[in-house]
């Protein structure tokens, strides 16, 4: 370890010298052999002292394989960088090479300190706490994705192998946000686009499938408390139906995305620029393959990610009913939440049943009504506020299609068929409001959720009318649900406020644009007024944190950091506090 530290430090200092970096890289490759033997030997000895059955061979071998493969990839990337042509060697060695040196040093340390058995124990410790499990899962996948997006295989220009940008893009993908600091088609190769594609898919299903997968990998049986929490996370009726629910979610997602890809493929036929490569400046170009573009956009739409392989996002398809309608429908289905979709599917299967079915649950009714109302209000807002702005040159039909599409996409997905950098301040503020509300619970979208907003409105209405308890439709809302809704809104406002204030300290852009960026990141929406790529590295890291917190949720984050609740055997006297 001491030798690796010395070599990596010298390698960091010698950046710019092809000769010395070649020698030092070769030394690191030589050190990797005894290092790997030491890691495996120490882990084997430790596993024998501990419970070898609990920390089985497969998990230890898998963790070693990931670490060794990552180190091999870093050393290979360094070799590729070193042997670049002299014309771009100076730029590459001063930018990407330093990241690879740091990666190598971190992997040397991680291999010794986080070897197989210790990793298994760590995963086992967090598996008993679903909130921490979900937070750690997203963090690990984002870090791994950021690392992969800096490899020469994934970037067209090695000079673009910046870890901050890679981490930003990976976090945006796994958090299904859609914010990007660069043009995806221009910056990343097909391999890099596949990495982003997989991150989007993992992020869209992450709250259900990813958490369960990590728990299974940990090899530790969940306690009753954790089992109940995880079952509630995916809205399973019981733990016995947990596997069936996950299977249905997975199959429904794959089938829906496949159908969406087929419709998009034929819809893209009307624009030949979709088949053009990243060098073509046409706003619809970038993917270079209509099939890949259809598949990528279908998954990105259903997962509410908002990533696009087109240079101009979906601006070229503003008046296309096929493209806008298909993507809007995918966004809506992904944003409603799997419990609502499952209930609607069950109702559809029972449509011919002579016995009348019971009506939809209160949750489904609230989600459907609030989603429809917000789409209508958003459509009217875009039509009225932007009629003489970005909609000025469109016909009424095209303007209506664009307004409906933008209203659907604004709350959760981040696709844009209109240029937000040219919009006025009123619609920017209203868009922040829609993004803040976001999608529905147990969906692929973010925000405070439509049900939270509905409960908050019911609480406000009850207070104004002096009602005994808030109600939605014909059902009363419990005090615990009302308190949770208020806590989510207050916590979200505080998080957005802190993030906005932090960006004001690090960036020089207009305050309203920074607020738009902050809300978009927290709500995992992905819309931008065009300043994302101009953010400083500290600003990018702030946005990364906002995306992460917004994806796992402020309440989940609080639960992941909280200790076991204390049991109090006494109550405190009440006293009146003036409100308002």
What is the distance between the alpha carbons of residues 33 and 81, in angstroms, rounded to a whole number? Answer: 22
What is the distance between the alpha carbons of residues 153 and 166, in angstroms, rounded to a whole number? Answer: 13
Q: 10 Å Cβ neighbour count for 34?
A: 11
CA–CA distances in Å: residue 268 to residues 130, 200, 297: 42, 22, 11
CA–CA distances in Å: residue 375 to residues 343, 347, 516, 524: 21, 24, 19, 18
User: Does the pLDDT of residue 499 top 90, yes or no?
Assistant: yes
HEC states along 509-557? Answer: CCHHHHHHHHHHHHCCCCCCCCCHHHCCHHHHHHHHHHHHHHHHCHHHH
Average pLDDT of span 321-330: 89
282-286, long-range: CB within 8 Å, 24+ apart, which pairs? Answer: 282/311, 282/316, 283/310, 283/311, 283/312, 283/315, 283/316, 284/310, 284/311, 284/312, 284/316, 284/317, 285/185, 285/310, 285/311, 286/183, 286/184, 286/185, 286/186, 286/310, 286/311
User: Does the pLDDT of residue 541 top 90, yes or no?
Assistant: yes
- Helix boundaries (H) for 268-395: 290-302, 321-336, 338-349, 362-385
pLDDT tens-digit readout, 286-315? 888 889 999 999 999 998 888 888 888 888
Find how far residue 189's CA is from the centre of its chain. Answer: 21
| Residue written as token pair 């639960």 | 559
User: Does the pLDDT of residue 432 top 80, yes or no?
Assistant: yes
Find how far residue 132's CA is from the centre of its chain. Answer: 17
pLDDT at 422: 87
pLDDT tens-digit readout, 449-470? 899 999 999 999 888 888 788 8
pLDDT at 170: 92
**CA nearest to 44, candidates 111, 145, 117:** 117
**CA nearest to 217, candidates 73, 96, 370, 61:** 61
Tokens of 248: 């249905």
Helix 479-506 and helix 450-465: axis angle, to 10°?
Answer: 120
What is the distance between the alpha carbons of residues 259 and 251, in angstroms, rounded to a whole number? Answer: 12
pLDDT at 480: 82
Banded model confidence at residue 139, pLDDT cuts 50, 70, 90: confident
Rounded to 10 degrees, the C-alpha dihedral 108/110/116/122 comes to: 180
What is the distance between the alpha carbons of residues 279 and 525, in angstroms, rounded to a whole number? Answer: 28
Instruction: Give the rounded percent of residues in the chain with a pLDDT score beyond 90.
Output: 20
User: Does the pLDDT of residue 565 top 70, yes or no?
Assistant: no
β-strand partners of 475: 472
What is the distance between the alpha carbons of residues 126 and 132, in angstroms, rounded to a whole number? Answer: 6
Size (the chain), residues: 580
Structural element, H or E, at residue 471 = strand 471-472
DSSP string across 129-185: -HHHHHHHHHHHHHHHHHHHTTSTTTBSSGGG--HHHHHHHHHHHHTT----SS-HH
Rounded to 10 degrees, the C-alpha dihedral 84/147/507/422 comes to: 90
**CA nearest to 408, candidates 315, 327, 308:** 327
Banded model confidence at residue 195, pLDDT cuts 50, 70, 90: very high
Q: Are 417 and 312 in contact (CB under 8 A)?
A: no
pLDDT tens-digit readout, 374-391? 999 999 999 999 888 888
Banded model confidence at residue 213, pLDDT cuts 50, 70, 90: very low
**Exposure on the CB side of residue 159, measured as CA atoms within 13 A:** 10
pTM here? 0.85
Find how far residue 446's CA is from the centre of its chain. Answer: 9
What is the distance between the alpha carbons of residues 292 and 464, in angstroms, rounded to a whole number? Answer: 53
Q: Are 130 and 168 in contact (CB under 8 A)?
A: no
Q: What distance, in Å, lies between the first and last C-alpha atoms of the chain?
A: 62
User: Does the pLDDT of residue 356 top 80, yes or no?
Assistant: no
Beta strands in 378-417 (DSSP E): none
What is the distance between the alpha carbons of residues 148 and 161, in angstroms, rounded to a whole number? Answer: 10
Banded model confidence at residue 421, pLDDT cuts 50, 70, 90: confident
What is the distance between the alpha carbons of residues 476 and 470, in angstroms, rounded to a whole number? Answer: 6
What is the distance between the alpha carbons of residues 202 and 196, in angstroms, rounded to a whole number? Answer: 10
Q: Identify the DSSP state of 193.
A: H
- All structural domains of the chain with their residue ranges: 1-127
pLDDT at 209: 56
Banded model confidence at residue 168, pLDDT cuts 50, 70, 90: very high
């Amino acid at each position: 370890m001491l030798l690796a530290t010395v070599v990596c430090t010298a390698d960091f200092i010698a950046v710019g010298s092809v000769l010395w970096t070649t020698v030092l890289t070769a030394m690191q490759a030589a050190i990797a052999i005894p290092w790997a033997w030491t890691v495996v030997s120490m882990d084997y000895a430790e596993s024998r002292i501990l419970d070898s059955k609990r920390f089985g061979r497969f998990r230890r071998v898998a963790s070693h394989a990931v670490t060794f493969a990552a180190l091999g990839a870093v050393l290979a990337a360094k070799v590729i960088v070193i042997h670049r042509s002299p014309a771009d060697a100076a730029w590459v060695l001063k930018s990407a090479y330093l990241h690879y040196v740091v990666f190598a040093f971190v992997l040397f340390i991680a291999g010794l300190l986080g070897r197989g058995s210790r990793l298994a124990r760590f995963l086992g410790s967090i598996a008993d706490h679903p909130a921490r499990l979900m937070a750690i899962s997203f963090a690990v996948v984002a870090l791994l994705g950021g690392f992969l997006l800096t490899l020469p295989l994934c970037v067209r220009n090695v000079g673009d192998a910046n870890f901050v940008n890679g981490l930003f893009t990976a976090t945006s993908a796994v958090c299904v946000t859609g914010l990007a600091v660069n043009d995806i088609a221009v910056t990343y190769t097909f391999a890099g686009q596949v990495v982003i594609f997989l991150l989007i898919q993992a992020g869209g299903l992450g709250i259900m499938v990813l958490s369960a997968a990590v728990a299974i990998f940990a090899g530790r049986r969940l306690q009753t408390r954790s089992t109940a929490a995880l079952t509630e996370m995916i809205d399973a009726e019981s733990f016995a139906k947990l596997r069936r629910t996950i299977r249905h979610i997975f199959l429904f997602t794959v089938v829906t995305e496949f159908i969406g890809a087929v419709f998009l493929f034929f819809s893209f036929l009307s624009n030949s620029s979709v088949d053009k490569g990243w060098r073509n400046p046409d706003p619809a170009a970038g993917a270079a393959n209509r099939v890949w573009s259809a598949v990528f956009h279908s998954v990105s739409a259903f997962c509410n990610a908002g990533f696009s392989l087109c240079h101009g996002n979906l601006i070229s398809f503003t008046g296309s009913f096929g493209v806008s309608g298909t993507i809007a429908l995918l966004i809506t289905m992904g944003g409603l939440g799997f419990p609502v979709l499952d209930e609607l599917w069950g109702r559809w299967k029972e449509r011919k049943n002579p016995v009348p079915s019971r009506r939809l649950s209160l949750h489904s009714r609230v989600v459907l009504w609030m989603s429809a109302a917000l789409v209508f209000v958003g459509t009217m807002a875009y039509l009225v506020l932007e009629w003489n702005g970005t909609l000025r040159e469109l016909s009424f039909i095209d303007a209506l299609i664009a307004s409906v599409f933008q209203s659907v996409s604004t709350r959760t997905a981040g696709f844009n068929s209109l240029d937000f950098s040219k919009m006025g301040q009123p619609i920017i503020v209203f868009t922040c409001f829609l993004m803040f509300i976001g999608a529905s619970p147990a969906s692929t979208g973010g925000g405070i959720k439509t049900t939270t907003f509905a409960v908050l409105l019911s609480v406000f209405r009850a207070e104004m009318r002096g009602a005994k308890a808030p109600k939605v439709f014909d059902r009363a809302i419990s005090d615990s649900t009302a308190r949770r809704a208020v806590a989510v809104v207050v916590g979200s406002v505080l998080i957005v406020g802190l993030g906005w204030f932090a960006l004001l300290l690090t960036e020089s852009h207009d305050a309203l644009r920074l607020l738009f960026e902050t809300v978009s990141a927290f709500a995992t929406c992905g819309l931008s007024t065009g300043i994302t790529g101009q953010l400083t590295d500290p600003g990018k890291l702030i946005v990364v944190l906002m995306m992460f917190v917004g994806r796992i949720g402020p309440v989940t984050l609080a639960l992941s950091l909280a200790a076991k609740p204390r049991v109090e055997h006494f109550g405190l006297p009440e006293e009146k506090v003036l409100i308002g």
